[in-house]
Amino acid sequence: GKLVWFMWCTLTVPALGLLALLCLFSSEPVQAGKVLVVPVDGSHWLSMKILVEELSRRGHEMVVLVPETSVLIGKSGNYTTKSFHVPYTLAELNANLDHIKNNAFEKPPQLADIFLNLGNLMRFTDMQVKACERLLYDESLMKSLRETEFDVLLTDPFLPCGTIIADSFSLPAVYFLRGIPCRIDEAAAQCPSPPSFVPRFFTGFSDKMTFPQRVRNTLMTVLEKSLCHQLFGSFGELASRYLQKDTTYKELLGNCAVWLLRYDFTFEFPKPQMPNMVHIGGINCAKKVVLCCLVHKILLQCRLLLTFSSFNELTMINSILLN
């Protein structure tokens, strides 16, 4: 037995060392890349800006496409900007954003408000689609972007410009988002979304629904499909016209390489997601706070993966700890 062990060590160890040496010399050095960024103006940009500046700090070449009329996106020494003309004024843009904010975010969601919110959102997206069209048909700018030979495209898929450019340039797309109305992002990624367990927008339901609530949620699912067709129809029409092929916005979304979801799974209702979906909710925290000693001690003692299935359970646990 000792002889066999000696022979195995004599033959195997040098071979493994040689294999490790070959892998070391055959590997390519890590290099910074060129990233094309197609953001969405407004609060969406505030979160993406953190990522863009950090990638720039790590040596990546960041090029951000900025509309001439912008609320929050501006020039910076941390990244390069390229501007394009848009067919609206700053006053018109602010008016559209105010309508959305006042009706969709400053009061609890109500089913009766769905058509009002949809109308406000459609006016905003129609404005942005026209701006996207100006960008896509700016031949000199698009030629310059092609010749730069980017490695990857980072975009917020709330608007279609980034997804269309990624397909046109044959670039892998990284999506940075909180969510898209009608859950078209989850449908594009082929995430199972049973209406019996996944609550729809404007229902106010949790993942634990009674039978009547599940019926209403199912009816809302059917209504969503019709509303989404109205909301995203212009996206698909622009994509088909520019790419010169029959496609839809949902199909383009499905080509995503990585989904960066800027929310924490502990604050969401349980739902199936794909392996290329990454939760980065902490990126929005400007100031990190260390867990209190009691919570830290509990986590160390339990050594379990804690999953809070709903916000109500999280609130209950928090109140217990405080008491």
pLDDT tens track for 46-63: 889 999 999 999 999 999
pLDDT exceeds 70 at position 273: yes
pTM: 0.76
Task: Look at residue 122 in the predicted model and tell me its pLDDT.
Answer: 81
Alpha helices in 161-203 (DSSP H): 161-169, 184-188
Given a contact cutoff of 8 angstroms between Cβ atoms, the answer to whether 249 and 229 are in contact is no
- The domain segmentation of the chain, as residue ranges, is 34-284, 293-322
What average pLDDT is seen over the chain?
Answer: 79
Closest CA to 99 of 176, 177, 42: 42
> pLDDT-based confidence at 310, cuts 50/70/90?
very low
Tens-place pLDDT, residues 168-215:
999 999 999 988 877 888 888 998 888 888 888 777 788 788 899 898
CATH architecture of the domain with residue range 34-284? 3-Layer(aba) Sandwich (3.40)
Burial 100-124 (b: 16+ CB within 10 A, else e): eeeebeeeeeeeeebeebbebbbeb
